[in-house]
Amino acid sequence: MIPVFKPSFNDEELEALKEPFKSGWIGLGPITTEFEKKFANYIGVKYAVATNSCTASLHLALRLMEIENYEVITTPMTFVSTNHAILYNNGIPVFTDIYSDTLNINVDEIKKNITNKTKAIITVHYGGHSCDMDLILEIAKKYDLKVIEDVAHGCGGEYKEKKLGSIGDIGCFSFHAVKNLATGDGGMITTNDAEICEKLRKLRWLGISRDTWDREEKDEKYSWYYSVEDIGYKYHMSDIQAAIGLVQLKKLDSMNNRRREISEAYTNAFKSVSWIEVPTIKRYAKCAYHNYVIKTDYRNELNIYLQEKGISTGVHYIPNNHYSMYKKFGQFTPISDKVWKKLLTLPLFPDLSDSDVNMIIDTIKKFKK
């Protein structure tokens, strides 16, 4: 069975794991610090704070926005953790409709949903295709709103030659097992604000003033001493994850290029098929292609057919405002409500072979002749 997603690991990751195991320092330590510095440099920001998931990153980012009892403009077309993070902070998600082509949040709908209770906008770069950030930042500036980029799908992607995660006030990344940069699990927060960075480092380590490695590294007489300054969380990354992350970061551009090659092959094969709509890529976007999603009126039938042929597929996503716990928040999202019923995610990962890609293409074309 060909999977939808699969991490791309080899002997380099295995070799990198020797360092933390040999040193005996496998928790939050020097390798995590190195990963943070190199990731910040890659994204083009001053600071990066490593966490154990994008969910944790979003939770902390919104915590700093002080959104309790305030509204956050968000999309229904995302993994549920995006909107759970709003509720973790006692905020109010305002589900805002999407464009039918890119599946990203619709800028005109953002404008309609802003009230005097709005505090922030979350931009989910769906599938690794950037939202139109200039227009969103213009709105944010006009209404004095914060912008959080959810870059779970977009690591290495760009908007007008700027790396995703470097454009809003804060960027939140996922290093989950199936993401473009995979550490098994993990996340990162990016920012150019020194004060935000300092607060995040405390919050990800239970509100403690200095983490264990920081105290050990300075080798002070009272290295055991620390203060607890806030109610924080155990959201830090380990050096085991960071060791994998450093290797994956070096390979990220080449892995994303392979994703683009496969996606281009799919698009060239399916763009003339009458019952398939291929993804739209805007000129301003350099898509990271976390996933490749087609639209078809035969979604369910095609899914069953491909499963029978040994090809896994997925649906990304059921709109969040369709889930029972989110129905109370309502919102009018007719495009999202309609388009999700047509979405089907095809296999896409760097190690997918050309022969498998061709087999997938041929199998899909034979579905309706």
Domains of the chain: 11-250 (3.40.640.10), 253-365 (3.90.1150.10)
Q: Quick one: DSSP state of residue 131?
A: P
| Angstrom distances, CA of residue 174 to CA of 133, 151, 259, 344, 362 | 20, 7, 17, 22, 33
pLDDT at 217: 59
Q: What is the mean pLDDT of residues 301-311?
A: 98
Q: Are 175 and 50 in contact (CB under 8 A)?
A: no
pLDDT at 212: 61
pLDDT at 342: 99
pLDDT at 226: 84
pLDDT at 225: 77
Q: Quick: pLDDT tens for 181-220.
A: 999 999 999 999 999 999 999 999 999 987 665 655 555 5
Q: Are 289 and 273 in contact (CB under 8 A)?
A: no
Collect all residues with Cβ–Cβ distance below 8 Å to 250 and sequence separation of at least 6: none
Q: Which residues are catalytic?
A: 179
Q: Are 171 and 196 in contact (CB under 8 A)?
A: no
239-270 and 354-365 helices, crossing angle to 10°: 40
Round the average pLDDT of the chain to a whole number and report it.
96
Nearest CA to 174 among 194, 153, 157, 203?
153
pLDDT at 227: 87
Q: Give the pTM.
A: 0.96
Helix (H) or strand (E) holding 255: helix 239-270
Nearest CA to 129 among 110, 105, 153, 148?
153
- 3-state secondary structure (DSSP) of residue 5: coil
| Rounded CA separation 363/355 (Å) | 12
Q: Considering the chain, what percentage of its residues have pLDDT values greater than 90?
A: 93
Indicate the pLDDT class of residue 269, thresholds 50, 70 and 90.
Answer: very high
